[in-house]
Structure 1
């Protein structure tokens, strides 16, 4: 099921057959540099399952990013509820296969998710939770119009919280 389309991409719900493509992305140490560790096969299976549950519970989650030109799955991007400083926020999160870094795909997908969150779901604010050393993710947040709101202790360490509102 396609959720949204951009110029070069479409985002769709995860399918079971995404497992091998996602595992190759999530098991890569460079791609997962800002996570505690790369994902195991089982962690990747749980990631897919958890997002499929989010589709049912929240009406959204992380979706597979596919190239329009060949339907290849190159990562994920979407909306996820997170607890930040005691409040429930909706985060735009993303992971891109490192073979596709620096081609604007993360920004394109994140911008599509931002518009989806604001105009399809009626949200007024979205955030991104970013490791302070993750300069490429900071650039993506800035490219889609987010600004640094604060620094918070989440996921057992300090992260920047970038945010944007419907009005900005």
Structure 2
């Protein structure tokens, strides 16, 4: 499965993506809002979990690749996450530090949003993040999401939840 945007290709992750993904998920700055930075084993598990998701759900986190160079600069996709005790479809993303603030996260997230509303039955999509992760919620807002909930939790101290409904997405397309 491949999604193309103006500057990006989103494709399934493979074991061959380990080095590039480790450079992202193993970066303390990129992962500052996670409980910890990923070691090699966690990155391999991350890749394998997504490969399994593709087989079960037909979606997961996909490699974000620059069209111009073929370079993997992050991951973005749709996963099923527990958000405030309920399983919900979530758009998640990680972009390599030197590629942030160039619109790649928003471009990839919008492509995933469009794919999800076109090819899945979900009527609402979510993104959730630690309350201090300004870049992440700016990306969520750029995809048309609105803040719908905030709650305390053990992992993020305080979590913000953004969402967009199918109806809101349809209005964006007009």
Question: 1:155/1:108 Cα in 2 relative to 1: closer, same or farther (>3 Å)?
Answer: farther
On the 8 A contact 1:129/1:161 being kept in 2, the answer is yes
Task: Report the Cα distance in structure 2 between the residues aligned to 1:150 and 1:126, rounded to whole angstroms.
Answer: 13
Q: Which residue of 1 aligns with 2:69?
A: 70
1:55 aligns with 2:54: yes
Change (3 A) 1:47 1:155: farther
**Is there any run of 5+ residues in structure 2 with no aligned partner, and where?**
169-174
1:96 aligned partner: 95
Q: CA deviation at 1:119?
A: 0.9
Distance 2:6 2:112 in 1: 13
CA displacement at 1:84 relative to structure 2: 2.1
1:159 paired to 2:140: no
Distance 1:167 1:155, change over 3 A: farther
Residue 37 in structure 1 maps to residue 24 in structure 2: no
Give 1:58 deviation, angstroms: 1.3
Matching residue of 1:109: 108
Number of corresponding residues? 167
When normalised by structure 1's length, the TM-score is 0.95
Does the 8 Å CA contact 1:127/1:161 hold for their aligned counterparts?
yes
RMSD: 1.2
Instruction: For 1:46 and 1:69, locate their aligned partners in 2 and report how far apart those are by CA, in whole Å.
Output: 29
Distance 2:137 2:13 in 1: 26
| Mapped partners of 1:91, 1:155: distance in 2 | 19
What's the offset of the Cα at 1:36?
Answer: 1.0
